[in-house]
Amino acid sequence: MGLTPEEKELHIQTMQTLKGSERRMYMGRVVKAWGYGGQSRAERELGWNRHTIRKGLRELATGPIKDNFVARGRKRAEEHLPNLLDDIRALVDGQAQTDPTFQSQRLYTRFTAKVVREQLIAHKGYTDEELPSEETIRVKVNDLGYSLRPVRKSQPQKR
């Protein structure tokens, strides 16, 4: 009463092409067609997870579940602190200078990420616990178009 090698291969290849709820619903259809004992048979012969099979059977009855992968993970610092980018821009803008050779559009500042973080705490009312790390602030400052490196005066050309 086992599956033939061709049937196993067909189910395995189909499972590899499907993703998410389509895959689970396919598992549910196969197990439902096999009838009583289909879940344990699919687990034994095809290596399918019984919890996934049950979820697929539930989706067949009620409709597919939308997998919301986008909503997972940690939110960006701007979502936790909506004024963070404006406050960083306000602090760094006063110290920013353009490239002395005018070869790029980037703005350079003498502030380091550590100084920007300290200034946010001292002047903008943030606490140490709520602010992100220095590395995150460095990335945010770079994303705003500022380069965190010392501003050099333009060198006179040699004759």
Residue range 22-50, pLDDT digits in tens? 999 999 999 999 899 999 999 988 889 99
**Quick one: pLDDT at residue 23?**
92
Positions in the chain whose pLDDT score sits under 50: none
Question: pTM of the predicted model, to two decimals?
Answer: 0.52
* All structural domains of the chain with their residue ranges: 5-62, 77-148
**CA dist., res. 6 & res. 1, Å (int):** 14
Q: Give the helix ranges, DSSP H, for 35-108.
A: 38-46, 50-62, 77-80, 84-93
**Tokens read off for 146:** 């500022």
Hunting for tokens 């990420």 — which residue is that? 113
**Tokens read off for 92:** 């760094």
**Quick one: pLDDT at residue 147?**
79
Hunting for tokens 């579940």 — which residue is that? 65
Q: Are strands 107-109 and 146-148 parallel, antiparallel or unpaired?
A: parallel
